[in-house]
């Protein structure tokens, strides 16, 4: 029986990276780069709901300041014994604190908030028997399919797990996510979390957080297959290339470059169970894939466009031209004979070596 696991990620959590079976990065909260502070202007804080009110009195300000100073400690006290009401109370306090917080304080609170939810949803220690694991799988599978949960399964799991499941059923900010291959986990609304914090971030920080929150709502890898569409891969690769060009010294720029590599490799190499071209790498499996690749190749001032041009040029080479220009060995490093598909991919990687630079192919929450 497979054990249930918690998701991160590129779900996927915002800053904790992508997973071994999905693109994984060591995305982290980085301190602001002084160079970036010069290239972007601090955005005017956008009021949120109750922040649109009469000007605060000195007494109100004093109370808010005291609350804000202790908020980080309050967030850190939330764990897997807490109730959802504790989180709702924190969200209310954040609406008062964030408009007056410094950029570093906003980022610190955001990191604390995300880690808080990870603790709140943690449940690994509650899976003590094969029966409880099987019951947990049956329950989350039923939730995913909007089916009725068998009472006998609920009796097999811990009170904490029953509480988390009740939150899902009551439409609280808790959901179930299928990670593939029989793995399930609890998650929360990343976009709602981003909405709380992004009005008080610098433009490059806001762009990064909003994109990660959107992309990490679903897993990227499942059963060695890419779960998103080819069109979406193009969009994500283009976004991260544009981000790097717009904010060369921006927030988490290293992670942005990593994500560009993730999606670029997914575009040109696919995965074991996801192929955009035939085994001979000569014909796209769907006409729209070729159309999208040709559109990508026409982007101005784009390294991705040059990659796409190189890829398209490789596709039209004959077998003899490929072997003459990029000779492939008859055996691999272990002495095993290379089949036709393996030889073609060897040649493709020789032709498109730029695709491999800086890319840990085995680990992306994932490509």
- Residue 128: predicted pLDDT: 65
The stretches of 216-298 forming alpha helices (DSSP H) are 230-246, 253-269, 287-297
Mean pLDDT of the chain: 77
CA distance 334 to 6: 36
Q: What integer pLDDT is reported at residue 85 of this predicted model?
A: 96
How many degrees, rounded to 5, is the angle at CA 284 between CA 283 and CA 285? Answer: 115
pLDDT of residue 199: 96
Q: Match 């398209």 to its residue by tokens.
A: 312
Q: What are phi and psi of 17, to 5 degrees?
A: 105, -170
pLDDT by residue (tens digit) across 232-269?
Answer: 999 999 999 999 999 999 888 999 999 999 999 899 88
Specify the pLDDT at position 36: 44
Q: Write down the domain spans for the chain.
A: 43-200, 229-356
Most confident of 120-129, 145-154, 174-183: 145-154
| Residue 32: pLDDT over 60 | no
Of residues 335 and 277, which shows the higher confidence score?
277
Q: Is the pLDDT of residue 7 over 70?
A: no
Q: How far, in whole angstroms, is CA 341 from its chain's centroid?
A: 31
The pTM is what? 0.75
- Percent of the chain whose predicted confidence (pLDDT) is above 70: 75
Query: Is the Cβ–Cβ distance between 11 and 365 less than 8 Å?
Result: yes
Q: What percent of the chain has pLDDT over 90?
A: 38
How much is the pLDDT for 19?
Answer: 32
- Mean pLDDT, residues 26-52: 37
């Amino acid at each position: 029986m497979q054990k249930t696991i918690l998701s991160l990620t590129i779900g996927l959590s915002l800053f904790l990276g992508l997973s071994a079976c999905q693109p994984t990065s060591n995305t982290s909260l980085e301190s602001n780069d002084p160079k970036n502070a010069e290239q972007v202007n601090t955005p005017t804080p956008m009021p949120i709901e109750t922040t649109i009110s009469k000007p605060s009195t000195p007494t109100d300000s004093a109370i808010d300041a005291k609350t804000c100073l202790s908020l980080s400690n309050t967030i850190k006290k939330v764990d897997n014994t807490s109730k959802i009401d504790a989180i709702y109370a924190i969200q209310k306090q954040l609406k008062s604190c964030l408009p007056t917080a410094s950029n570093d304080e906003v980022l610190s609170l955001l990191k604390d908030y995300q880690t808080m939810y990870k603790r709140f949803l943690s449940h690994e220690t509650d899976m003590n028997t094969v029966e409880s694991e099987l019951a947990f799988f049956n329950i989350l599978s039923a939730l995913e399919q909007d089916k009725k949960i068998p009472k006998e399964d609920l009796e097999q799991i811990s009170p904490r797990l029953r509480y988390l499941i009740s939150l899902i059923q009551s439409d609280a900010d808790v959901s179930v996510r299928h990670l593939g291959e029989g793995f399930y986990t609890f998650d929360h609304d990343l976009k709602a979390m981003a909405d709380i914090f992004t009005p008080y971030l610098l433009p490059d920080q806001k762009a990064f957080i909003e994109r990660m929150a959107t992309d990490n709502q679903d897993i990227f890898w499942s059963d060695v297959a890419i779960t998103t569409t080819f069109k979406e891969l193009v969009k994500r690769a283009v976004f991260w290339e544009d981000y790097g060009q717009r904010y060369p010294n921006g927030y988490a720029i290293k992670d942005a470059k990593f994500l560009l590599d993730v999606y670029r490799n997914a575009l040109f190499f696919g995965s074991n169970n996801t192929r955009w071209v035939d085994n001979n790498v000569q014909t796209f499996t769907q006409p729209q894939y070729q159309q999208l690749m040709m559109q990508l190749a026409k982007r101005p001032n784009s390294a991705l466009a040059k990659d796409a041009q190189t890829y398209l040029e490789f596709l039209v080479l004959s077998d003899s031209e490929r072997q003459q220009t990029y000779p492939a060995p008859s055996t691999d490093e272990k002495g095993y004979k290379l089949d036709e598909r393996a030889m073609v991919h060897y040649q493709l990687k020789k032709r498109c070596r730029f695709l491999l630079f800086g890319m840990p192919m085995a680990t992306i929450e994932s490509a």
